Amino acid sequence: MTSAAYGSLPFQAQIDFLKQKVSIPTAAWTDVYAGEHDHGLMVAGARGQVLEDVHSAIARFINQGNTLADFRKDFDGIVARTGWAYNGGRNWRTRIIYETNLRQSYNAGREAQMADPALRKGCPYGLYRHGSSAEPREEHLAWDGTVLPLDDPWWNTHSPQNGWGCSCKKFTLSKRDVQRMGLAVAEQAPPVQWEEQTVGIRGPSPRTVRVPKGIDPGFEYRPGV
């Protein structure tokens, strides 16, 4: 079973993913949606120098393995310099920016690794593992232990991160790994129940989207693909 830890040591595929992103000014988080985040970096309500400074701070913590506390110091400095009047509480806002960018860039780097033909030949399966969320989602718990071929379409919408604060992970497995861990490759993917949700209704750019039940709007895609 292969994986890499995030938030401690530099992970080049993760760093490369972040480098190719361009800063996109927005008024609300719904302005840039789902897979569009693969190519653009946005922070809701941030524009101009504020956005560039936050982008640089994100690059620093991913390159150097800095902590949330380190990022909060950078964030406070940006606010003091620019006078940015952001929405939401400081601790909540910084955690969302830090964790989402850290996890999704890491997940995109892992997906780039998983796309390698040599790796897929030796480890052709993906394993869904539930994270350690304080308030676990029922669907994410149900998916825990699911083993499917990496090219199964289910992964296109269910590869972690699958929601705000979601810490679920996807691992690659060889046939030997599957046997050793007492797992089994599913004959078919878990059923997907689609539902429509309208998001951003309090902001300037609401949108109605179709997402699998159990996945927060904006996370129904495979990072970096």
User: DSSP characters for 16-45?
Assistant: HHHHT-EE---SSGGGS-GGGGGTEE--TT
**CA-CA distance, 96 to 79, in Å (whole number)?**
16
- pLDDT score of 10: 59
**CA-CA distance, 222 to 159, in Å (whole number)?**
5
Give the tens place of pLDDT for each residue, 143-176.
Answer: 999 999 999 999 999 999 999 999 999 999 999 9
Give the tens place of pLDDT for each residue, 2-17.
Answer: 444 444 445 899 999 9
Q: What percent of the chain is modeled with pLDDT above 90?
A: 87
What does DSSP say about strands 125-129 and 40-41: parallel, antiparallel, or unpaired? unpaired
- pLDDT score of 65: 87
Q: What's the mean pLDDT when you consider all of the chain?
A: 92
SS3 labels along 100-165? HHHHHHHHHHHHHHHCCHHHHHHCCEEEEECCCCCCCCHHHHHHCCCEEECCCCCHHHHCCCCCCC
Domains in the chain: boundaries: 12-110, 113-212
Amino acid sitting at position 137: R
Mean pLDDT within 119-143: 92
pTM (two decimals): 0.89
